[in-house]
Amino acid sequence: MAGSRTLSVETLRVRHLSKRFGRIAALQDVSFSVHAGEVLGIIGPNGAGKTTLLECLAGTLASDAGSVDGGDGSALNSAGRLAKLFYLPDAISPWPSQTVRWALQFAAGFLRGRADEMDDIIRDLDLSAILDQRIGTLSKGQRKRSVLAIGLLAPQPILVSDEPFDGLDLRQTRDVGAALRRRAAAGRTLVLSIHQIEDAARVCDRFVLLSGGRVCGEGTVDELAARAGDARARDLAEVFLALT
Amino acid sequence: MRSHSPARWLVIKEWRELLASRAWWVMVLAAGPIVGVAFTNAVATYADISADPGCGIVCSPLLGIWAPTFSAYEIVAIFLLPFVAIRSLTGDRQSGALTLELQRSFPVAGRVGIKGMVVLGGWMIAFAAGAVAVALWASYGGGIAAPELVVVAIGHIMNAALTIAVALAIAAMTDHPSTAAIVTLAITIGTWMIDFAAAVYGGLWERLATYTPSAFISMFQHGLVRVNVVLIAVVIACAAIAIAAAWIRPGVPARRRAIETAGFAMAAAVAVILCAAIPGSWDASETRINSFAERDEEALAHIAQPIQIEVHLAPQDPRRTAFERGPLAKLRRVRPVDVSFVSRTATGLYEQADKGYGEIRGRVGQRTGTTRAITDEALVEMLLQVAGVTPAAEMETPYRGRPLAVHAAGAPALFFFIWPVAGAGMWLWSSRRQS
């Protein structure tokens, strides 16, 4: 499990989000909060609604009901979300004919990103060797790390990333997880959708358990274990199984 | 790292993406040979015509060289350019780049506009083949009347801008590039059907056909600039950009996008109707091919009373088309005129024996006149007679033409070899430079 810091400043509150695709209810009355500087893991099995939730959270997909409130409790409009959140979808390969170096420069320049952190991000995500490679020619893991670098360069205080460890090998997962922890320690808030529970347990401070489009639990492992009625459970997987 | 404005970053990004686009390189490479075929054929035909010492108005570079040569770009605009524009938008959407870029606060319409402008810039590079044709013609000793050449070029550039805007709107509205391509081609075929219906049925179709891309281009290729047609093209392009912006904006329900699209379309329709009523045109042709003789125009303008014309010709009668596009169009440029068409059938085949069929009847005040000829001179003479106006004495020197019987030397080598080889070399160099 990641840190056990006390995180109390609420920077986002998701209230009663719902989304249907025809007859399928992808999200049903989803509510949870995000605290400043934490790594929040949205975990759940395939089809739980994680990606839909992140898209509704970021505003790239219109929700049918509910709202996303800022730290002051007022609902965020699209401009407010743009100022606060940066969303990295899963399985994207942006600007495939451009090099990683150029994509990072573009992210820092056009997005008005954290150019001063670029060298650290390149080092943390081990991108030096592929900087002059075209994004379209990268392996899945290399592409994932490059896209993650773009997200880390983005200026918004909250980074929302869909499956940040998908396609990474064990060592890369560990290194990327450590890099994300360092960003959180520096004050960045991270909301990560992760379907591998072991990865989530290693990186995240708190969790939102999602199953069938519903929130089954929210909190640290201890809090979730208590909610599950099994105080002895210290393993996120056991807690998840108990609650879903 | 360099610091640029967001707009400049987007221009740089779009330009780099265009250079990496195979669709664009194919368009540029294909433009040379297509222009080459059109130019060499035009020069050969012009040489044949020039053999006649009295070729006069027929020996006009506008109709003999520029119209056929630059019509190559009409083909490129129909069959290649839309796909370059579609690729520029759908490529970003499919790769996920658009999702990332849209998270920077920047007007979405401005973003689509920049994309369109960069694609238009790419089109201008393909347009260089036309400039090569102009340079070759000048090197042969061919005459160039700058205003008419500029008008032809502007017409094709405007047509390209319109094509790009519409293609971007369709690309934004559809889920997949192939769907966008099919819809774009369907629209093109739809405009051809309008042209066909106009030729067969006349009436409203004929009015509608004056705003199709082929009619739009034809106007410029004749050295004519009509204010209303230009404004309508601008309105349609702006509406298309607005619609594209409505469909790429993230997080907007489909219903709202549809409502916004309908709103833009209705606003554009109203603007088009208003623009259609705006008079004014400029005949840039050296031969004044779109105008009556100056003295006749002055005399017609002096007629104080309204002019009514009744044309007894069926829609499919070729004389009606010739009369509408010739004398009647010229008269409409000089002054307002109330025109009505009278016929029992669409073809006119069984009306030939009818009393009065084939007549052009003019009315000025209470006086009337009739002619069966569909020439400029016949119409002007009839109207001036009816109005009782006498034109001034002949002032203009008749156009004697610019005959030139030459072989298109150097053109095949330039268009069919040097252009494709140089283009392919630049493509290779560009792709290596970007990597």
For residue range B164-186, what is the model confidence (pLDDT) as tens digits? 999 999 999 998 999 999 999 99
| CA distance, residue B97 to nearest chain A CA (Å) | 4
Q: Is B103 close to A86, i.e. CB distance below 8 A? A: yes
DSSP result, B337-361: -EEEE--SSSS-TTTTTSTTTT-EE
Q: Let me know if B298 is exposed, middle or buried by CB neighbors in 10 A (0-12, 13-18, 19+).
A: middle
Burial A85-124 (b: 16+ CB within 10 A, else e): bbbbbbebbbbbbbbbbbbbbbbbbbbbbbbebbeebbeb
Question: In this complex, is the C-beta atom of A214 within 8 Å of any C-beta atom belonging to chain B?
Answer: no
pTM for the model stands at: 0.90
pLDDT of residue A3: 47
CB distance from A244 to chain B under 8 Å? no
Beta strand pairing call for A39-43 and A189-194 = parallel
Chain B contact residues (CB < 8 Å to A): 1-4, 6, 9-10, 13, 16-17, 20, 92, 95-97, 99-105, 250-253, 434-435
CA gap B354, B250 in Å, rounded: 64
A vs B, Cβ pairs < 8 A, gives 85
Q: HEC profile for A133-184?
A: CEHHHCCHHHHHHHHHHHHHHCCCCEEEEECCCCCCCHHHHHHHHHHHHHHH
Say how far apart CA B114 and CA B127 lie, in whole Å. Answer: 19
From A206's Cα to the closest Cα of chain B, the distance in A is 26
Chain A: nearest CA to B251, how far in angstroms? Answer: 4
Mean pLDDT of chain B: 92
Percent of chain B's residues with pLDDT above 70:
98
- Are B17 and A97 inside 8 Å of each other by CB? yes
> From the list B9, B251, B434, which residue is nearest A106 (CB)?
B9
Predicted pLDDT of residue B434: 65
- Out of A85, A109, A134, whose CB is closest to B435? A134
Q: Is A79 on the interface with B (CB under 8 A)?
A: yes
Q: pLDDT tens, position by position, for chain A (244 residues)?
A: 454 455 568 999 999 999 999 999 999 999 999 999 999 999 998 889 999 999 999 999 999 999 999 978 889 998 899 999 999 999 999 999 999 999 999 999 999 989 899 999 999 999 999 999 999 999 999 999 999 999 999 999 999 999 999 989 999 999 999 999 999 999 999 999 998 888 899 999 999 999 999 999 999 988 888 887 766 666 888 888 888 7
**Rounded to the nearest 10 degrees, what angle do helices B81-95 and B227-248 cross at?**
20
- What is the distance, to the nearest Å, from the Cα of residue A67 to the centroid of all Cα atoms in its chain? 19
pLDDT at B127: 95
* Reported confidence tier of residue B2, pLDDT bands at 50, 70, 90: low
C-alpha of A112 from chain center: 21
* C-beta atoms of B103 and A108 within 8 A: no
Closest alpha carbon within chain B to A114: B1
Task: Please give the backbone phi and psi of residue A200, each rounded to the nearest 5 degrees, phi first.
Answer: -60, -45
Residue B144 three-state SS: coil
Q: Which of B248, B275, B247, B269 is nearest to B259 (CA)?
A: B247
Closest residue by Cα to residue B217 from B76, B425, B395, B364:
B76
Q: Is A67 on the interface with B (CB under 8 A)?
A: no
Cβ contact, residue pair A112, B104, below 8 Å: yes
Contact A78 B251 (CB under 8 A): yes
Q: Note whether A62 contacts B: Cβ–Cβ < 8 A.
A: yes
Tens-place pLDDT, residues B324-369: 889 999 999 999 899 999 988 877 777 777 788 999 999 998 899 9
Place of tokens 């008419």: B148
B243 vs A231 pLDDT, higher one: B243
Report whether pLDDT(B228) > 80: yes
Three-state SS string across B210-262, please? Answer: CCCHHHHHHHHHCCEEEHHHHHHHHHHHHHHHHHHHHHHCCCCCHHHHHHHHH
CA angle in degrees (0–180, nearest 5) for B142-B143-B145: 145
Query: Which pLDDT score, from 0 to 100, does residue A7 have?
Result: 53
In the prediction, which pLDDT does B1 show? 58
Tokens of B349: 């085949």
Residue of A nearest to B431 (CA): A97
User: Is B121's pLDDT higher than 70?
Assistant: yes
Contact status of A131 with chain B (Cβ, < 8 Å): no
Check: CB of residue A61 under 8 Å from CB of residue A55. Answer: yes
pLDDT more than 90, % of chain B? 72
Neighbours of A132 (CB within 10 A): 11
Optimal mutation site among B8, B25, B99, B103, interface A, most CBs of chain A within 10 A? B103
Triad B163, B165, B170: Cα angle to 5°: 95
Query: What is the CB-side half-sphere exposure of residue A110 using CA atoms within 13 A?
Result: 25
What the block records as the tokens of B313 is 């010709």
Tell me the chain B residues in contact with residue A79 when contact means C-beta distances shorter than 8 Å: 105
- Interchain contact A82–B (C-beta under 8 A): yes
Collect all residues of chain B within an 8 Å Cβ-Cβ radius of residue A97: 16-17, 20, 434
Q: Do A150 and B4 touch (CB under 8 A)?
A: no
Question: What integer is the mean pLDDT of B296-304?
Answer: 90
Which of A64, A67, A95 to probe the B interface (max B CBs under 10 A)? Answer: A95
- What burial class does residue A149 get, using C-beta atoms within 10 Å of its C-beta: 0-12 exposed, 13-18 middle, 19+ buried? buried
Nearest CB among A61, A97, A150 relative to B251 is that of A61
B276 and B235 Cβ atoms separated by less than 8 Å: no
Distance of CA B149 to the CA centre of its chain: 14
Confidence label for B234 from pLDDT (cuts 50, 70 and 90): very high
Helix (H) / strand (E) containing B192: helix B177-201
Kindly determine whether residue A109 and residue B3, on different chains, have CB atoms separated by under 8 Å. yes
Chain A residues touching residue B4 (CB < 8 angstroms): 109
**Contact between B95 and A94 using a beta-carbon 8 Å cutoff:** yes
